[in-house]
Amino acid sequence: MINRPSFTRIVGNNAKYNEGLKVYMNSVYKYMSMALGLTGVVAYIVSNSPFLFNAIFNSPLYIVVLLAPLFFVMYFTAKIWSISPEKARNYLWIYAGLLGLSLSSIFLIYTGASIVRTFFITSSTFGAMSLYGYTTKKDLSAMGSFMMMGLIGLIMASLVNIFIKSPGMEFMISIIGVLVFTGLTAYDVQKIKKTYDYVGVNSDMKEKVAIIGALNLYMDFINLFLFLLRFMGNRKR
């Protein structure tokens, strides 16, 4: 079993500390933005290629594409502490690409205009909650725990609704999903900010923790976008 490294807390309010924190947070958002861009590009390319789309979604390969991101992200998070920062970055790109494959179908379900509109609304909401999580002096740990409980309930309700196919439950799941991932965005940003106090002096560990932080924010953004799309997306006729 690989033990997680012990961190040494660093404390300081000087200019050097603040500048280091700024660089650290910028790297988190840089990785997150690059992952989002890769997902969008892959999804767009697949949706506009009849050959690729049919090869994936009109064959048993669809199940593989659907489940691959889930299993890969579990493997990724389990291996993060034992791999190099370079390999961790590559794993993030692989995960973003796999998710792009599985999300390519939204371009055939919803109009391009509504996807773009929902993306910008998601970006605005995500940005506002990120700013709140970064600047607030309030400890968001309790809210984070509550949101995690909501996430577990959301997963269970989604699984149940696969079988009962209730439109009313689908609507409630979407509302709860938006609330949960809006709250988790603020919580995750605050948590990522706090990790700098422990890894700011360790370049390799700082890089890997930044990548994990980017992964968490990336998943918050993607899930918030998908739940909002259920409300705001205009389906193609």
Range of the domain at 181: 15-232
Count of structural domains, the chain: 1
Domain-located, residue 60: yes
- pLDDT value at 100 more than 70: yes
pLDDT, the chain, mean: 88
- Confidence grade of residue 60 (pLDDT, cut at 50, 70, 90): confident
Prediction pTM value: 0.89
Q: Is residue 172 part of a domain?
A: yes
pLDDT digits (tens, 9 = 90+) for 126-147: 999 999 999 999 999 999 999 9
Q: Which residues on adjacent β-strands are paired with residue 235?
A: 110
φ/ψ of residue 13, rounded to 5: -120, 15
Q: Residue 190 domain-assigned?
A: yes
In angstroms, the CA 90 to CA 34 distance is 12
Cβ-contact 211, 92 below 8 angstroms: yes
Residue 162 has pLDDT above 90, yes or no: no
Residue 97 has pLDDT above 90, yes or no: yes
User: Which residues, including other chains, have CB under 8 Å from residue 104's CB and lie 6 or more apart?
Assistant: 42, 43, 44, 45, 46, 47, 53, 56
Decide if 99 is inside a domain: yes
Q: Does residue 86 lie within any of the structural domains?
A: yes
CA distance 7 to 30: 24
